[in-house]
Amino acid sequence: MEFACSVKDLTRSYGGLKALAGISFDIKPGEVFGLIGPNGSGKTTTLRIVSTLLRPSSGEVCVFGINVAEKPGDVRRLLSYLPEDAGAYKNLSGLDYLRFMATFYTEDNRDRDRMVERGMELADLGQRIKSRVKTYSKGMARKLLLARALMTKPRLAILDEPTSGLDVSNSMGIRNRVREYARDGTTVLLSSHNMLEVEFLSDRVALINQGEIIETGAPEELKQKHGCRNLEEVFLKMEHL
């Protein structure tokens, strides 16, 4: 099987600080894979390496068989990355922002129009899509940014804390859109410190702590294996082993 993403013995150091200490995991095509752990555990560093924004100190990462360090340009054509701290151009309307971003992915006017229509549907902002981004609430802006990430129909969508700071209603909307796209064939790698949310979303998860993966598996399997009610309890149990 060709994995959508394969990570082998990945390390990353910042000076004398080792952010990743040799982690490994594989993601199957069409799978939602959650990387969960506390702040500072290495989640964002991992996503930045997979998305070609950081080079690994050692180890190997491949996206659909392509090495991210050797052929980053080829990898970028296959994925879309939504950072936790992403922002949109505040003086553009939501619609103009989607149109602008679509120009980076296709030169064909019809393809671009279809992509923007898909983005508008994903954002689900109604007439507010024509308002300037600077007038948006945090939830509206995050929905727009998720629409930008998914409207290109990437083979791999990388989402860092996709619902960070959002209320229950907006969080549920974003989770539903992620699941819809996964059902349509997009592979999703997401990270969050919200373990209950990732439990709801993910087919499989990796628990990461201090740059090391301490457990991997399907949420239900991990809960049964460790006799826990949820992934938060699994993490706490594994953390103290």
Q: Answer whether residue 83 is part of any domain.
A: no
Average pLDDT, the chain: 92
Q: Answer whether residue 235 is part of any domain.
A: yes
Q: Are residues 11 and 69 in the same domain?
A: yes
- 118-150: per-residue pLDDT in tens? 999 989 999 999 999 999 998 899 899 999 999
* pLDDT of amino acid 126: 94
A 10 A CB-CB count for 15 gives: 5
Q: Is 203's pLDDT higher than 80?
A: yes
The count of domains in the chain is: 2
* pLDDT of amino acid 238: 85
Q: Answer whether residue 240 is part of any domain.
A: yes
pTM of the entire predicted model: 0.92
Q: Give me the CATH number covering residue 216.
A: 3.40.50.300
Q: Nearest-CA neighbor of 83 among 57, 53, 107? A: 53
Picking from 138, 153, 168, the residue at the C-terminal end of a domain is 153
- For residue 160, the cross-strand partners are 191
Q: Are residues 17 and 58 in the same domain?
A: yes
* pLDDT of amino acid 241: 63
Is 6 within 8 Å of 33 (Cβ atoms)?
no
* pLDDT of amino acid 107: 85
Q: Answer whether residue 122 is part of any domain.
A: yes
Picking from 102, 121, 153, the residue at the C-terminal end of a domain is 153
- 11-38: per-residue pLDDT in tens? 999 888 899 999 999 999 999 999 998 8
Euclidean distance between CA atoms 37 and 211, whole angstroms: 10
- 48-63: per-residue pLDDT in tens? 999 999 999 999 999 9
Range of the domain at 141: 88-153
Q: Are residues 149 and 164 in the same domain?
A: no
Picking from 105, 134, 153, the residue at the C-terminal end of a domain is 153
* Beta strand pairing call for 32-36 and 204-209: parallel
Is 169 within 8 Å of 138 (Cβ atoms)?
no
Task: Compute the average pLDDT of residues 176-200.
Answer: 87
Q: Answer whether residue 170 is part of any domain.
A: yes
Q: Is 1's pLDDT higher than 80?
A: no
* Beta strand pairing call for 187-192 and 32-36: parallel
